[in-house]
Amino acid sequence: MPIPNNGPVSADDIQDEFGGSNPISLSEYYGAASGIPSSNQISFSNFRGKSAVVLNLSFVSRLDAYGFERSALARLDFSQFGTVETFTEGSDIYSDTTDWITPGGSNLPQYDVYVSRSSSGGTSGSFDTWVNLQTSPNFSISRSSSGTYESTFTVQVREAANTSNVSNTKSIIMSAEVETRND
């Protein structure tokens, strides 16, 4: 859990969040998170609101599925262990798994995801509500007949224990297109 934005920050708070050895020395935390100096002067106030956990939603900005005379599906699968799978199925099947949180693993704090969409045509998933990632939710767009569905999915992630603080936001253009033969 991030170090609080307000109130005193202690050496124990920093060690609890970032690990380290005793005796505690601030110099062992140079560059430990964004905004913490990597050299020169470092102070307790540099650690306000900082976390050892890094959320990375830059894994994809557009996900397209294309099917020629067959259905097309583009899907995001989030896992509670810190990975997201991008999946497309159509004329070809493509899958890629990327970390959305570092460090990952089974002892992560619990996170929630909120996904909204610009258009509902062909979409599936628990949109417009916070969903705990322990349920491994997925969000998709699909098309089974000739034409294209496209929607912008806006993904937000927050720590479940800190519901007032959205940790990261990313917009992803999702599309599913089916083309048929014109004889």
- Asked if residue 121 and residue 77 are part of one domain, the reply reads yes
What 3-state class would DSSP assign to 133?
helix
d(CA 134, CA 131): 9
Tens digits of residue pLDDT in 19-44: 888 999 999 999 887 788 988 999 99
Tens digits of residue pLDDT in 68-84: 888 999 999 888 777 88
Residue 178 has a pLDDT of 93
175 lies in some domain: yes
Helix residue spans in 35-160 (DSSP H): none
Between strands 166-179 and 62-68, the pairing is parallel
Q: Is the pLDDT of residue 98 over 70?
A: yes
Kindly report the average pLDDT of the chain as a whole number. 86
Residue 107 has a pLDDT of 55
Residue 157's CB is within 10 A of a number of other CB atoms, namely 22
DSSP-based helix, strand, coil % in the chain, nearest 5: 10, 40, 50
Q: Domain count of the chain?
A: 2
Task: Pick the more confident residue, 171 or 87.
Answer: 171
2 lies in some domain: no
Name beta bridge partners: 158.
Answer: 112, 166
Chain CA centroid to CA 81, Å: 11
d(CA 174, CA 141): 7
- Asked if residue 107 and residue 42 are part of one domain, the reply reads no
Length of the chain in terms of residues written: 183
Q: Is the pLDDT of residue 159 over 60?
A: yes
Name beta bridge partners: 10.
Answer: none
- Asked if residue 164 and residue 149 are part of one domain, the reply reads yes
DSSP 172: E
CB 113 within 8 A of CB 131: yes
Q: Which domain holds residue 132?
A: 54-179
What 3-state class would DSSP assign to 179?
strand
Tens digits of residue pLDDT in 114-155: 999 999 999 999 999 999 888 889 999 999 999 999 999 999
- Asked if residue 109 and residue 36 are part of one domain, the reply reads no
Question: Given pLDDT bands bounded at 50, 70 and 90, which one contains residue 108?
Answer: low
- Asked if residue 26 and residue 62 are part of one domain, the reply reads no
